[in-house]
Structure 1
Amino acid sequence: MDLKPLVESVARELLEAWRKETATQSPPPKVLYVFCDSTAHEAYSDQFIHLRNNGVCHDLLFLDGETSGWLGMHKIECGGAGRIIAADEFAPAPLEVPRDYDGIVIPEIDLDNAARIALGMKGTIKSEIVFAALMERKFVLVGEDSPGAKRSDRRTLRTITLPEPYAKLFSYYKHELSMYGVELAPQKRLADIVVDKLGRQGKDDDRADRKSDGSQRQPEQKDSTPEDRQSFHGRLLSADWLSETYKRQPFGELEIMRSTIVTPLAADEIKRYGIALTYADER
């Protein structure tokens, strides 16, 4: 037997099934995490695992020394969940970024950016991203326990807290942010809140749902009359043969040999029509 037509037929049906599946599936939700520098994300590794396990994709944006972190021309290159956005000469304007995301997460915000957002001022990447996200009615989640001073400032000045007057001002601006629609939450709960908002179930739940759905779609077994039974004696059972035969004369039982190869699309058609498979060499 020439295997080339067999392999080609199976490959074509697999590709067609994949195209149909991807065409009918809605893209998974995706959020953007914005960090001050390329080391700030390390403390959130467990949160990223939690997002991934619940079907939420995430991208990371690093702003190392903001002026060099965003040169702003055309587009962002990003490959999907857990990938890093390349902010280079091809990066878009910050206002364009929220279009591709369901929400923006900023684990740490500083006094400068909080003030700009609260006063409706743009001019920094964070303030423009937040402004654009709120304008597009997308959620913005900010860590409420941020220290208020930028990481670069803390390293340079060797202090981790704001003086009391600045700390009070920072608290005031955070209150203003919440009035404009920015949500404040503890940093350790950011991923939980994202999952709750986007309503995605974990992989185990998805498997259970698919199993449950499959069991509900199982056709009821019934006695077949000779007119309700069809036999196939070929080597490869394709979806084309099944559809054409069924259209000419619907049947509820199909008899094949144990050695017959059933293509994936043909198996889908069998389920769709509710056809029961039997094997001639077992009679």
Structure 2
Amino acid sequence: LLRIDTGRQGVKTIALETQDILQPCLVVTYETAVVAIYELNIEEKNAAGGVIGSEEEKTKSNPPSTLTVSVGSEFLLTVSDHRDIQISSKASAVALARSSRQLILAVAEANGIIDFFALNGTMLRQIQTNASIAAMETNRNLLAFSDGTRVIISSMTRAQGSVFHSCPGSSAKISSIAFDAVHPEIMYAGTERGEVLVYIVNAGASSDSQACRLLSRHTVTSSRRVQTPLALAVTKRYVIATGPHDIAVFNVSKSQKTGVSLSQLCTSHQYIIFVSGEPRDQALSPVVAFSEGVIGSTLAFVTAGAGDQAKLILFHSLLPD
């Protein structure tokens, strides 16, 4: 659909928000202290291949030389605006959240600062956590980020944003965080030991024990390596945990007695999945993405191809709805 020439080297991570059709955007971080925001337009083509919309919209859809747009798709994806934001140190994690009818970009810096930006680049807020943040995620008004072996949760609102609650659960460092797609009070964390931790959280509670409780712990990796970081993806019924050598799918069920529980549905040990960084054995999360759509779901990850070249693998999901 779209290829963007960022004009920079050392792309570290990307975050894509397309659930909000009125405000889709792409966030790119680099190995330098810069974060790029690309606001996107998604437009439907007519039978003749033109764009459905006003003349003004058609004019805005003409791509500049830094963009390559697919001509064979039913939709036209273009960049409507782009800005680079300079931060004090390079980004270690990013997350997008909706607040007061607008998208908010949270950027964790290597120095422990978390910046909150509007999509137009305006700085909304900044907090100092003194944490070593490798993973961060948002859910409604809840912010969760890693600090070594713990997950820290806090409210996204200004009134409660200075209150932090600690969620212990493993002696291994946290590599990824995700929230349940149906039950917003359920949080998952992947560790560098190949574990999936399941928590029930309440950021408005007065104490750590009430704000965060570990429900269960599940082991994914079959490797004896000490560093086997997991990346997590969630759907309405499943949790997909991906490590450097393993992919596991867990079925999610909930009961009033036990809360949410996971049961392993299937696993694969066929691939050596690249992690985002060098050296190769560095404990960083695998490069994985999961997408749910009308015509099906797709799991994508980067693996070692022929000649040790990076190769993108796509799986069409056959998991029952």
Give the TM-score band, short-chain normalised: under 0.3
Q: TM-score, normalised by structure 2?
A: 0.20
Report which of the two has the higher share of strand.
2
Report which of the two has the higher share of helix.
1
